[in-house]
Structure 1
Amino acid sequence: MKKVIVFVFFFVLMFQSWAIADAANPISVNAVNVNGKFIATDVSPIIKDGRVLVPIRTLASLGVTYQWDSKSQSALNTKGKDQIKLTANKKEAFKNNQAVQVDVPVQTQGRILVPIRFVSENFGYKANYEKVRSILFIQDGNYRVDQESLQAEDLQAARQAAISLPIQFSFKSLSSLERPGANKDYGYVFPRGDASRYMYSNNVGHTVVEIKNGVAKAVWQFTEGNGLADIVSSAGQKPSYNYVEWVTDIMMFNDENGNIKAVYKDEKGQQKDLTAKAKSYIDIIQPIPNETRK
C-alpha cells in the first residue's frame, strides 16, 4: 500500500508543473508519425512561424528522394515524375520548374530542415500537427487504419497501434494543455488488460481517450489541484468509469534520465517497475509481464 501511495504522489507531482512559453522553451514536435508508424529522426523537427519543419531525411519515409546542393543551398526533392526545389532562406520554390511561394524557407541547423506541409501536400500527402501531444501526422491517400493491430491479443502491439492514431475532438480542447512546452514530460496510463482506452498526461493536465472503429476520440480533458480527484478545469464529458484506478494499474512515461519507464501491479497486486531504452516514440509502450487482454 505504501508503494501505491508513493507512486500516486509521484504521478501528481510529475504532472502539476506548468510550462511557460519563452525562448528557452519553444513549441516543439515530440514525434513524427507516417502512415500510422512512428519514425525516428536524427534531429528533432522544429516549428518556425507556425510551420513545422522536419529533417529532409524524414522524407524518405514518404517515398521522396532528395539531393542537396551545398553551393546553391538548395534541396531538390523528387517523387515519381514530380520535383520540388527549395532553397535555404528563400520563400520562392519551384515545382516542376514552375515558381511557387512557400510560407517558410528551408532551414539549415546542422541538418537540412524543410517545411513538411508544403512538401507533403505538393506530393499528395496530408500533414496534421496534433497540439495535444505535439505529434506530426503524415498520411497518404491510400492510408488505412490497421484494425488488426488495434484488436491484437498482444497488448503491447494493440496499445502501440492505439497511440499511433491521431486524437480527434468533438469538443473544444483545453488550450492550457496545448501550451508550448506542455509535452516536455508526458506519459500514458492504461487500465489492466485493456488497449481500447487510455489517459495521456503532460506537464499541465490529462486527456482521456477511447478507441472505437479505428478512431481515437478524446472524451474528456482536465487539470487537477492536489490530486486526480481534485478537478480544477475540464472539457468534454467526464466518463462514468474510475479513471483514477488506471494510475495504479499501468503507467508508462519518460523518467528523469531520459529512459522509458513502466510502473504496474503484478499478478499478486505488488507494485513493480521496468526501465527500457527508447529508439523511437512508440517504445514508451512496454510489455507488462503476465498481462492478458480482457
Structure 2
Amino acid sequence: MKKVIVFVFFFVLMFQSWAIADAANPISVNAVNVNGKFIATDVSPIIKDGRVLVPIRTLASLGVTYQWDSKSQSALITKGKDQIKLTANKKEAFKNNRTVQIDVPVQMTQGRILVPIRFVSENFGHKVSYEKLRSILFIQDSNYKVDQESLEAEALQAARQASISLPVQFSFKSLSSLEKPGVNKEYTYVFPRGDSSRYMYFNNDWSAGNTVVEIKDGVAKAVWQFTSGNGLDDIVSSAGQKPSYNYVGWITDILMFNDDKGNISALYKDDKGQQKEITAKAKSYIDVIQSIPNETRKH
C-alpha cells in the first residue's frame, strides 16, 4: 500500500502520465484536450523526431473524418472541402492534391493510426498549443469559445472540470522544476471548499513545486509558484506574487492509497469529525474530478 499526504475538499487522481522523451525535444504528454474537453485515448501519443503524433480518432470531435487504405498504408483525412493524404514512412503529403512536405510521416502503433498533430490541425485551421506545467496538449478549432456557463455551473464537479480544462497562462517565468519531462507522472489538484474559481496544482513530489491558479473571465492564470520544505508553509523558492488568502487552509492531511483493482482511495474526516472514504477510478485524466459528499458551492 502506497501512503502519501493528500487533501480533503478537492478532487484527486494519481496515475502514470504518457511519459515521452525524445533526445532532441524531451517532453511528456499527460493528456489531450480538444475544444475544452479531455479526450481519453486507448493509445498514447508519441514523439517522433521532436513532433507529437496523436491517434487520428482524437480529432473526431473537430469534425475530422478519415479513411485508411491498408494496401497503400495511407490515410485520407477530410474536413469540409479540404483533404489531406498522408502515407506511412513518407514525408511527402498531399493537401487538396497539392504536394506538401511534412517533418514526420504517419505512424502505426498497436493497430492505431497516429498523425503529426500540428501539421494536420494547422492545415485544417485548428490551433495547437502545449502547456508545459501540466504536460497537456490543447487542440482548438477556429470557432472555439470558452464555455462560460460550464465554468459557472451550480454542480461543482462540472465547474471544476471546466476550470482545469483551461490552458494555464503565465505572466512570470515558471519554476524550472515543474517543467522537467515526466515530472507530472503523479499529481494532485486541490480547490477551496465549495469553490471552482481557483485551485492549487502540484506534483506529488512536493519538492518539485506547487502552482496556484485563478480563473477569471474564462482565463486561467498562474499567480504564484513555490517549492516547499517540511510542509506548504515552509517556502524554499517562489515565483510570481504570493496571494493574500490562506492557501494552506484549503487542505487537511489524510491518507490515500492504491488498491489492487487500480482504484485510488482517500480517507478523511468530514465537518462532523466522522471518518469518510472516497474511491476513484484512475483510467484517464477525465477521472480527476471527484465529488465530495455534502460539499456546496459558495456564492
Q: Quick check: 2:66–2:76 contact (8 Å CA) kept in 1?
A: yes
Q: How many angstroms does 1:269 deviate by?
A: 4.1
Q: Does 1:175 align with 2:176?
A: yes
Q: How many angstroms does 1:22 deviate by?
A: 6.6
- CA distance, structure 1, for counterparts of residue 259 and residue 178 of structure 2: 21
Change (3 A) 1:193 1:113: same
Provide TM-score, normalisation by structure 1. 0.86
Provide TM-score, normalisation by structure 2. 0.85
- CA distance, structure 1, for counterparts of residue 42 and residue 148 of structure 2: 30
Match of 1:10 in 2: 5
Q: Residues 124-203 of structure 1 correspond to what in structure 2 (within 5 A)?
A: 124-202=125-203, 203=205
| SS of aligned partner of 2:250 | helix
Query: CA deviation digits over 1:2-30, x for unaligned, max 9?
Result: xxxxx9x7249x99xxxx9978xx73211
- CA distance, structure 2, for counterparts of residue 87 and residue 280 of structure 1: 30
Change (3 A) 1:48 1:223: farther
| SS of aligned partner of 1:282 | helix
- CA distance, structure 2, for counterparts of residue 146 and residue 136 of structure 1: 19
Name the count of aligned residue pairs: 279
Q: Does 1:235 align with 2:230?
A: no
Q: Residues 1-294 of structure 1 correspond to what in structure 2 (within 5 A)?
A: 10-11=5-6, 27-110=27-110, 111-202=112-203, 203=205, 204-248=208-252, 255=258, 258-261=262-265, 265-270=269-274, 272-278=276-282, 280-294=284-298
Structure 1 segments unaligned to the other structure (5+ residues): 1-6
| SS of aligned partner of 1:41 | coil
- CA distance, structure 2, for counterparts of residue 79 and residue 85 of structure 1: 12
| SS of aligned partner of 1:121 | helix
- CA distance, structure 1, for counterparts of residue 254 and residue 142 of structure 2: 35
Query: CA deviation digits over 1:163-213, x for unaligned, max 9?
Result: 011111111111220111111101101111111100011142211100101
- CA distance, structure 2, for counterparts of residue 59 and residue 249 of structure 1: 40
| More off after superposition, 211-220 vs 55-64 | 55-64
Q: Quick check: 1:205–1:224 contact (8 Å CA) kept in 2?
A: yes
- CA distance, structure 2, for counterparts of residue 37 and residue 254 of structure 1: 28
Letter in 2 for 1:181: G
Q: How many angstroms does 1:49 deviate by?
A: 2.9
Percent identity of equivalent pairs: 80
**RMSD of Structure 2 on Structure 1 (CA):** 2.7
Structure 2 segments unaligned to the other structure (5+ residues): 8-12
Change (3 A) 1:263 1:278: same
| SS of aligned partner of 1:57 | helix
Q: How many angstroms does 1:259 deviate by?
A: 3.2
| SS of aligned partner of 2:5 | helix
Change (3 A) 1:43 1:150: same
